[in-house]
Structure 1
Amino acid sequence: MKKLKLIALLLAGVTVGCSDSFLSLKPTDIVIEEEFFKNTSDAEAALLGVYSTLQREETFSNVRDAADIEWAISGDMYEMDGSANRIELHSLTLPSTNTILRDVYTAAYNGIARANLVIKKVQDMGEGDQGVKDRIIGQAKFIRALYYYRLVTYFGGVPLILDPLNANSELQIPRAKVEDVWKSIENDLISANEVLPKSWDPANVGKATSGSCKALLNKSYLWQGKYGDVVKITEALFTEGVYGLLTDYRSIFLETNENNKEILFSTQFREGTDAEGNNIVKRTAPRGAPAEFTGGAAWSNFVPQQHWVDGHEKDAQGKIKDKRYWSTIIGPGEAHQNMPTFVMPASVPAGWSKSGYIMTKYWQKPTLNNSGVNMPIIRYAEILLNYAEALNETNQTSKAIDYINEIRERAGLSLLANSLGKDATLDAVFQERRMEFIWEPSGGFSDLNRRGRFLEFIKKERPNYADLNVDQKPWLNTQPILFPIPRDAWDRNKALEQNPHYTF
């Protein structure tokens, strides 16, 4: 199933009957339900509509989440456009009217709505092979859990909607308790894990697997501080024997090597002019660079910051040792990894990159149309670092260091001594996150936030820290830091209560 063939079809927009404003809890009707869900072929088609929601920039395309929120808020990436909605996030002002937060919140519930419909209709379907139906429901539950994971980590307790809504539903829905949202996530993933395969045949590669479920459980348990459960679910994942680290860091992200053994789940894209592609190459390649290298457009929206580059380990001569830098970054005078005739100028024009650096993790070739590069959501490297963190918290520090060293060895770095103390080991975990996952959904703001390390990190690492006026922003002194419930959602659902220190 190359790229899942994620065509939204009529089904994704009409059968589901949920517009992008679903999250506002506005009444919606299912317009042609009776025409579908008569057999498993219909159900599979509806499931594609659920997967298609992951392709939106507001969901899992590594734009709104990984770039605008995770890595620009932490300060390790710079957003070149300087649009007002992005400045609100990066300055940590965080108003409830911010359109990026609104769109992330709304798009998550749109995905949940589609998943709810598939789960309900397939459960009620009388015909069809039960195993096939179970796997369809399992995939929809995984995606529902993925969206609720994002909502609960960004906003805290949110309305917990597990059944399809229509015009007869009660639409003034209060926020659920945080622990109830987490419990729902765990229930969905445990249920899906029991019915999904370890791997799919080539025609269906890219779909959620039992390993995907274990990986998201790993992340969910870690966020909640359930370190013993992190250890258990990770070791269950290890026994599957399906996933592992690739030897070459750059090869993880190559369009020619997608869905490799390091990818536990990713958003599937296909190059072309239709909605199957993404704008990631356009957002990466330096604006003003020759079109023979960039393709149809180049915006250089997001660039690595100098202080992030400076955070890499160096040799005695001051040269960066970390292979991850040389695999995915080019700076002044450095050649592109896949297009060596493209060399960054010694003096990089400000329009190309304010910092002088460009990331090539996703920019691998010129792209005339939309890019087909997949966007990683969960990688095996993250699972190893999560496992190491959990081991460290369960007094298995020496063993934890072994797993950190797996990441460091691939990066060409010296191994850490197993005698390292507990605090230093946790610091090492977070250092590897920072270098490993730049411009991915992991490793930035959210990981720092869940451990209460965010303010300490930006005070040390962000050169503009004094300009952020942290002491005048009380919402930053909560644990964890939560984003405001969007004003747009409250306008339509007055049962919503705002997070502390924010107003609607």
Structure 2
Amino acid sequence: MNTRKQLSIFFMAAALVAAGGCKKSYLDADQLSSYAPETSLGTATAMKAMLNQCGLQIRGEYFGDSAPMLTESIFSDVAVEGTTDKSTPAQDLITRITPDAELNNNDYNKIGYYWDEGFRGVRYANTIITNIDRPKYASEAEKNAILGSAYFYRAYFYYRLVHQFGDVPLLLKDLSEPKKDFYTTKREVILQKMKEDLDLAKTWVPDNVNKGEVTKGAVNHLLTKINLALGKFDDAIASATSVISGSPYGLMTQRFGSTAGDVTKNVVWDLHRMDNKALATNREALFLVIDRDNLASGFTPFGSQVMRNCVPAWHFANLKTPTGKQGIVDAVTAEFPLTRMYGRGIGRYRGTPYSTKYIWTDNTDLRHAKGMWMDMTDLVYNNPALKTSTDAADKAIYGKPLQEYSSSNLNQRFTNGGFDTIRHWFGWPHYKVFINSTNQYANDPYWTPPRGTNTDWYVFRVAETLLLRAEAYYWKNDLGLAMADINAVRGRAQAQLLTDASKVTIGTILDERARELYWEEPRKTELTRIAYIFAATGKPAYNGKTYTLAAFSDNNFFYDRIIEKNDFYKNEVPTVQGVKYRIAPYHVLWPIPADAQRFNTNGRINQNKGYSGYENNVAPLDKITE
């Protein structure tokens, strides 16, 4: 077993990572021999390398087949799991999501991934923080920049963990030996500590760093989210404003990069091209994950497969012509090579009617313009057999756009597998997910078949900072200022501007986030954060309801929003496997993986309400004990 794998397994045991089936030896202190900070972290260069490892932890969320971002999305209003040829994916969440279930598998869900990798990221950050005084630095500023970046990473992972799992154990120091006596700490205590750290980090971390490294703008962006989560709305406005009004950041409103000369495209297209994201001229990027073919690693996923995940399975043989013939092929050599043009999807991420139809209310929005957004009727029948068919109707339809199905022709159009518009028929943002190969489709493992390739990806952008500040203004009832920030984002997309501030609600902001932040925002995390704010403040939501922390897992805005907007969960739509889409209020928090509790033999990690083991909870820690 190589050293990297040993370190991985040791961390999994020591830092609460659920490692089902681990041998006892993996929990022994002997595993510490593969990790010696006193020798491996003796230079500033080594510290920076450890920071890069923290960045790799974040990169993994967006990449690979059934990328973890899919799980974030399906616990929300914007998407469901569209893999309908299996009964194992997270569709009936009430049945599938339990502490002892399979929680880290492409064909199930990635809840366990977030627990494992979240605490792994915390451990890496803590290693830097604990050993910060070991190296000699060129200056105090260099040391503080490294420490501030480590604070950022630790706060990033904890921000995610507490809005995925609620109260969790708090680790603030590196572990010198395996630990089995963790106790749960209150979410608010964790967030307050992260805020204090970021308030220091924002004075230490510079902006003039390499792309992919932590920037002052990223620190203030994350601080804004944590300020919101703590109900400190004035602080959230201040931290967001420091990004929005401060050099060197701003919305990209003019054409730029490698595609700037393409008159058929626009600035939104430019913004999301793989080779434009990390450009020095891209002022909108606050924090990126960097993905290059020379960064290949068996430890962290690399190479985007976003087209495989998010594009519908348009190429399946059971999508027929009106005459019942196979309509589409995925051959890259076809006269109309749809695979190369749009990617070969399998429909794991199935956008809801809310996110693919209902929120697109005007025809001027660049994000939904023809050529930017794809509908199934934008594809063409490309099966070569149609062109040479003796049937005149088949010949006539070859190369023509797919015809919309109707209730009268549904069974004819979707055969050999039954009625399955879930997986095969929905729209998607081509401008966001089209990640084309730079190797001319050859020698690229992610382009055979085309499903994505190496690309950088946004984690934080100024567009989201504006929507976060709009949210802070909303909580303060400054609706005119909230509308102005929303309109800044809408204006760049040439969408119709809002004109009536009195109609701005949290729904207005969530709608704009859905339009702007596809496959960028962790939608479940953000919905849970907002649900916590409603419960803590007692502010009535646009649905007229108020919520409380005491009944958080029984009655919350998270669930009400999803049932309102996600037609699949609302109507308990069945798949062709007979599985019904279902969700419950307690899914506002995910289950603590049972393995994490079993390894923690001398302490108590509380379980969330709605899951087996909740009855054994003890009072969470309400102060920092380390």
Instruction: Quote how far apart the aligned CAs of 1:173 are.
Output: 0.6
Q: Which residue of 1 aligns with 2:535?
A: none
SS in 2 for 1:333: helix
Give distance in 1, aligned partners of 2:312 and 2:166.
Answer: 37
SS in 1 for 2:167: coil
Given candidates 161, 167, 190, the residue that maps to 2:171 is: 161
What residue identity is the alignment partner of 1:304? G
Instruction: Quote how far apart the aligned CAs of 1:246 are.
Output: 1.9
Q: Does residue 1:394 correspond to 2:505, yes or no?
A: no
Q: Which residue of 2 aligns with 1:323?
A: 366
What residue identity is the alignment partner of 1:309? T
Q: Which residue of 1 aligns with 2:190?
A: 181
Q: Which residue of 2 aligns with 1:226?
A: 232
Q: Does residue 1:490 correspond to 2:570, yes or no?
A: no
Instruction: Quote how far apart the aligned CAs of 1:466 are.
Output: 3.8
Deviation per residue, 1:30-71 (Å, 9 max, x gap):
5242442222222223332222222324x88796543222x2
Q: Which residue of 2 aligns with 1:369?
A: 445
Indicate the larger mover: 392-401 or 487-496. 392-401
Task: Call closer, same or farther: CA 1:51–1:323 in 2, change over 3 Å.
Answer: same
Instruction: Quote how far apart the aligned CAs of 1:473 are.
Output: 4.3
SS in 2 for 1:265: strand
Instruction: Quote how far apart the aligned CAs of 1:155 are.
Output: 0.9
Q: Which residue of 1 aligns with 2:218?
A: 212
Q: Which residue of 1 aligns with 2:251?
A: 245
Q: Is the 8 A contact 2:483 2:504 kept in 1?
A: no
Q: Does residue 1:196 correspond to 2:208, yes or no?
A: no
Q: Which residue of 1 aligns with 2:586?
A: 475
Give distance in 1, aligned partners of 2:271 and 2:126.
Answer: 32
Mapping 1:67-466, distance limit 5 Å: 67-69=70-72, 71-82=73-84, 86-87=89-90, 90=93, 94-98=97-101, 99=103, 100-126=110-136, 128-167=138-177, 169-200=178-209, 204-247=210-253, 248-259=267-278, 260-271=282-293, 274-275=296-297, 276-285=302-311, 287=313, 288=315, 289-291=330-332, 294=339, 298-315=345-362, 320-326=363-369, 328-334=372-378, 345-346=402-403, 353-360=423-430, 361-366=432-437, 368-370=444-446, 371-417=453-499, 419-421=500-502, 424-442=504-522, 444-452=523-531, 453-464=557-568, 465-466=570-571
Provide the identity percentage: 22
Q: Is the 8 A contact 2:55 2:212 kept in 1?
A: no
What residue identity is the alignment partner of 2:355? W
SS in 2 for 1:447: helix
**TM-score, with normalisation over the residues of structure 2?**
0.68
Give distance in 2, aligned partners of 1:39 and 1:407.
Answer: 43
Q: Is the 8 A contact 2:121 2:157 kept in 1?
A: yes
Q: Is the 8 A contact 2:65 2:308 kept in 1?
A: no
- Number of residues of Structure 1 aligned to a counterpart in Structure 2: 473
Task: Call closer, same or farther: CA 1:347–1:209 in 2, change over 3 Å.
Answer: same
Give distance in 1, aligned partners of 2:595 and 2:215.
Answer: 35
SS in 1 for 2:455: coil
Task: Call closer, same or farther: CA 1:77–1:472 in 2, change over 3 Å.
Answer: closer
Indicate the larger mover: 211-220 or 169-178. 169-178
Give distance in 2, aligned partners of 1:352 and 1:395.
Answer: 39
Q: Is the 8 A contact 2:112 2:593 kept in 1?
A: yes
Instruction: Quote how far apart the aligned CAs of 1:161 are.
Output: 0.8
SS in 2 for 1:256: coil
Indicate the larger mover: 448-457 or 295-304. 295-304
What residue identity is the alignment partner of 1:461? K
Structure 2 residue runs of 5 or longer lacking an equivalent are: 18-26, 104-109, 254-266, 316-329, 381-398, 406-413, 415-419, 447-452, 532-556, 574-579, 614-626
**TM-score, with normalisation over the residues of structure 1?**
0.83
Rg comparison, structure with higher value: 2
Q: Which residue of 1 aligns with 2:264?
A: none
Give distance in 1, aligned partners of 2:151 and 2:172.
Answer: 10
What residue identity is the alignment partner of 1:456? D
More helix by share: 1
Q: Is the 8 A contact 1:67 1:440 kept in 2?
A: no
Deviation per residue, 1:380-422 (Å, 9 max, x gap):
11111111121132232212211111122223222222x522x
Give distance in 1, aligned partners of 2:356 and 2:236.
Answer: 31
Instruction: Quote how far apart the aligned CAs of 1:272 are.
Output: 6.3
Q: Is the 8 A contact 2:364 2:495 kept in 1?
A: yes
Give distance in 2, aligned partners of 1:45 and 1:78.
Answer: 37
Deviation per residue, 1:457-501 (Å, 9 max, x gap):
22322223142999994625xxxx221111121111141111122
Instruction: Quote how far apart the aligned CAs of 1:264 are.
Output: 1.5
Give distance in 2, aligned partners of 1:352 and 1:86.
Answer: 14
Task: Call closer, same or farther: CA 1:261–1:127 in 2, change over 3 Å.
Answer: closer
SS in 2 for 1:403: helix
Q: Is the 8 A contact 2:458 2:520 kept in 1?
A: yes
Deviation per residue, 1:278-330 (Å, 9 max, x gap):
33343345554334664696534223233422213445xxxx44321236531
